[in-house]
Amino acid sequence: MPHRPRSMFGPDFTFLGVPAIEVSDLARESADVVILGAPFDAGTSHRPGARFGPNAIRAADCAPWDGARPHLALRVDPLTDLRVVDGGDIEMPPGDTALSMTRLREAVTAVLAVGAIPVVLGGDHTVSLGTMRAVAAQRRPERTALLHFDAHADTDDTQFGLREAHGTQMRRLVEEGTIHGRELVQIGLRGYWPAPPTLNWMAENGLRAYEMTEIGARGLPVVLAEAMATVTADTTGVYLSVDIDVADPAAAPGTGTPEPGGFTSRELLDAVRTVAQRVPLVGVEIVEVSPAYDHAETTAYLANRVILEALSGIAWRRTQIDTGTAWQPELPLLHDRPWRQR
Ligand code: MN
Ligand code: MN
């Protein structure tokens, strides 16, 4: 498949320095997680630049490049407990959305085919058309739900007349049957879009969207528990799509369509970690990081940590399944927990 293996930063530039691999060589890698860059921003409706997101997310880090990232609260290490590799960036021509999504879909399918979890660094949110189509198709007849963190519903019928763009992709996925409307749960919506006809379409198709007003009134833990119950009710796997603009612009200024009034960075990290611990994630994407609008790498750091929280939750969940240990919703105090020996 057409594939741009590395970036302008050189052949060894990967997510936190994890091993670089070629997607075409995955069968020889025994990877648990494969990072893929999706440098596409032709579906952006406002400020562009998310094509530069993958490398900004890969690089945003302040810890040693020693291949370890011990998670203080979970007592797992996402980069050593899991074999995480980086397959580089997909070649996504800006003028051809369909071809870009086809190539992304092929790469994600290759990751799934070896039993690994794809972690995709966007790119604007159009990339869900490539990722989710691959995940849903590969897992059929098993059903896959989509848990979607975003300030925006991304459910318009068209955007500037286009059917495939970063404000329409969730509607396409439901219309074409990739996901069922009842299995698409959105968290963090706010602001002044979309218009009533689109909101009506969402209601008619069974989407559940938690607006920030509801999250504020009921509390994030309550809402999150309800959302996780919904996405696991009739499915065996959940794909997690995080649009960084679900975070407040104070926490994520480097994005194309900022909307004030969102999650704090801690709320977002807590939510992602909890989801990864408690539901069977089959893939993760972080989208809409646009470095040109970032300040002090704030947004890129948050996106990097969203991925680490997700991987840590996945690693933690595997230890629970592997050992048969009872579910532990409450973590004991830090000093009570010696680091597990491996
Ligand atoms: Mn979005
Ligand atoms: Mn958004």
Ligand 1 centroid, distance to 152 Cα (angstroms)? 6
**Domain presence at residue 337:** no
User: Measured between alpha carbons, how far is 91 from 132 in angstroms, rounded to an integer?
Assistant: 18
Q: Which residues pair with 85 in a beta bridge?
A: 34
**Domain presence at residue 334:** no
Ligand 1 centroid, distance to 46 Cα (angstroms)? 12
Residue listed under structure tokens 């706010």: 190
Containing 280, the helix (H) or strand (E) segment is none
Q: What is the pLDDT of residue 331?
A: 53
Is there a contact between 116 and 314 (Cβ–Cβ < 8 Å)? no
In tens, the pLDDT along 135-150 reads: 999 999 999 999 999 9
Ligand 1 centroid, distance to 339 Cα (angstroms)? 38
**Domain presence at residue 48:** yes
Ligand nearest the Cα atom of residue 168 = 1
Ligand 1 centroid, distance to 149 Cα (angstroms)? 8
Ligand 1 centroid, distance to 248 Cα (angstroms)? 14
Q: Can you list the alpha helix ranges (DSSP code H) found in 81-183?
A: 97-113, 128-139, 169-175
User: Measured between alpha carbons, how far is 128 from 287 in angstroms, rounded to an integer?
Assistant: 9
User: Measured between alpha carbons, how far is 11 from 338 in angstroms, rounded to an integer?
Assistant: 38
Q: What is the pLDDT of residue 5?
A: 45
Mean pLDDT by 10 residues, the chain (342 residues): 52 88 94 98 97 96 90 95 96 96 98 98 98 98 98 98 98 98 98 98 98 97 96 97 99 98 98 96 98 98 98 93 48 58 52
**Domain presence at residue 180:** yes
% of residues, the chain, pLDDT over 90: 87
Is there a contact between 109 and 283 (Cβ–Cβ < 8 Å)? no
User: Measured between alpha carbons, how far is 179 from 287 in angstroms, rounded to an integer?
Assistant: 19
Number of domains in the chain: 1
User: Measured between alpha carbons, how far is 95 from 100 in angstroms, rounded to an integer?
Assistant: 9
Kindly write down the DSSP assignment for every residue of 176-207, as one continuous string: TTSS-GGGEEEEEE-SS-S-HHHHHHHHHTT-
**Domain presence at residue 338:** no
Ligand 2 centroid, distance to 75 Cα (angstroms)? 32
Task: Compute and round to an integer the Cα radius of gyration of the chain.
Answer: 18
Containing 117, the helix (H) or strand (E) segment is strand 117-122
Q: What is the pLDDT of residue 64?
A: 85
Ligand 1 centroid, distance to 154 Cα (angstroms)? 6
Q: Please choose, from the candidates 155, 121, 119, 159, the residue with its C-alpha nearest in 3D space to the C-alpha of residue 289.
A: 121
**Domain presence at residue 90:** yes
State the pTM of this model: 0.94
Ligand 1 centroid, distance to 67 Cα (angstroms)? 31
Is there a contact between 170 and 154 (Cβ–Cβ < 8 Å)? yes
Neighbours of ion ligand 1 (CB under 5 A): 125, 150, 152, 154, 243
Ligand 1 centroid, distance to 8 Cα (angstroms)? 27
**Domain presence at residue 335:** no
CATH number at residue 47: 3.40.800.10
Q: Which domain holds residue 179?
A: 3-323
In tens, the pLDDT along 108-134 reads: 999 999 999 999 999 999 999 999 999
Report the half-sphere exposure of 32 (CA within 13 A, side-chain side).
14
Ligand 1 centroid, distance to 150 Cα (angstroms)? 5
Q: Measure the N-to-C terminal CA separation of the chain; round to a whole number of Å.
A: 38
Ligand 2 centroid, distance to 120 Cα (angstroms)? 16
Residue listed under structure tokens 């490398």: 55
Q: What is the pLDDT of residue 340?
A: 61
**Domain presence at residue 336:** no
